[in-house]
Amino acid sequence: MNGANDALLKEACNSSRRVKVLLETLQKKPKNARIMAELSSLLKGESEEEYNKENKEKQQCLLQEAEKWANKSIETAPHKPYGYTVLSTVSPNYETRRNALQQLLQAYTHQQPLEKQHEIPYAVALVRVLVEAREEEALRNTNKHISKANKSHPIRRDLSTNEQTMYDDTIVQALDTAYATLLRNKNDFNINNIKNHQRNAVMYLCKSEYRLGVFFRRMHRHHDDDAATKCNKDHDATHRPKSRRHFTRVLEIYHVVCATTANNENDKTKGSSHPNSGDVADVVIAKLAQKSQFWLATFQTDLIQDENHEGYNTSTSNDTSLLSSSSLTSIPQIDCCPEDYILSLYSSFAPKFDDLLVNKLQYQTPTLLRKLVNSTVSTTTASSMVWSNLCIDLGCGTGLSGLAFKSCTKYMVGTDLSPDMIDVARERRSDCYNDFDVVSVEDAFPMVMKKIQNQQHSPCSSSSYYGDTVSKIVDLVIACDVFVYLGNLQPIFESVHKYLTPDTGRFAFSTERLDTAKGEKDEEGRGYVLLPTARFAHKKSYIEKLARKIGFQVEAMKLCPIRKNGGKDINGILVVLSVPST
- Segment 97-110 shows an average pLDDT of 90
Highest mean pLDDT among 8-22, 76-90, 323-337, 381-395: 76-90
Taking 70 as the threshold, does the pLDDT of residue 161 lie above it? yes
CATH of region 342-578: 3.40.50.150
CA dihedral 438, 440, 441, 442 (to 10 degrees): -130
Q: Where do the structural domains in the chain lie, given as residue ranges?
A: 342-578
Q: Give bridge partners of residue 437 from the DSSP assignment.
A: 415
- Cα angle 135-137-143, degrees, rounded to a multiple of 5: 115
Query: In the prediction, which pLDDT does 305 show?
Result: 36
pLDDT tens digit string along 184-199? 776 555 544 444 556 7
Chain centroid to CA 432: 29
Nearest C-alpha neighbor of 235 from the set 312, 314, 322, 153: 312
pLDDT tens digit string along 8-31? 555 555 556 778 888 889 999 999
Query: In the prediction, which pLDDT does 193 show?
Result: 43
Burial string for 32-57 (b: 16+ CB within 10 Å, else e) reads: bbbbbbbbbbbbbebbeebeeeeeee
Cβ contacts of 145 within 8 Å, gap of 6 or more: none
CA dihedral 124, 130, 133, 136 (to 10 degrees): -60
Chain centroid to CA 458: 34
Query: In the prediction, which pLDDT does 140 show?
Result: 81
Residue 226's pLDDT band, with cuts at 50, 70 and 90, is very low
Nearest C-alpha neighbor of 182 from the set 159, 197, 198, 169: 198
- Segment 557-575 shows an average pLDDT of 86
DSSP string, 150-212: STTSTTTSPPPHHHHHHIIIIIHHHHHHHHHHHHHTGGG--TTTS-HHHHHHHHHHHHHHHHH
pTM confidence score: 0.81
Residue 142's pLDDT band, with cuts at 50, 70 and 90, is low
- Cα angle 207-212-214, degrees, rounded to a multiple of 5: 95
Query: In the prediction, which pLDDT does 523 show?
Result: 60
Residue 108's pLDDT band, with cuts at 50, 70 and 90, is confident
Alpha helices in 359-503 (DSSP H): 365-374, 379-384, 400-405, 419-428, 441-453, 490-499
Distance CA 261, CA 279 (A): 12
Tell me which of 300-309, 316-325, 353-362 is least confident. Answer: 316-325
Beta strands in 514-552 (DSSP E): 528-530, 536-538
Radius of gyration of the chain (CA): 27
Distance CA 395, CA 480 (A): 7
pLDDT tens digit string along 466-483? 444 557 889 999 999 999
Taking 50 as the threshold, does the pLDDT of residue 308 lie above it? no
Taking 80 as the threshold, does the pLDDT of residue 260 lie above it? no
**β-bridge pairing 409-416 and 553-565:** unpaired
Query: In the prediction, which pLDDT does 469 show?
Result: 54
Beta strands in 238-308 (DSSP E): none
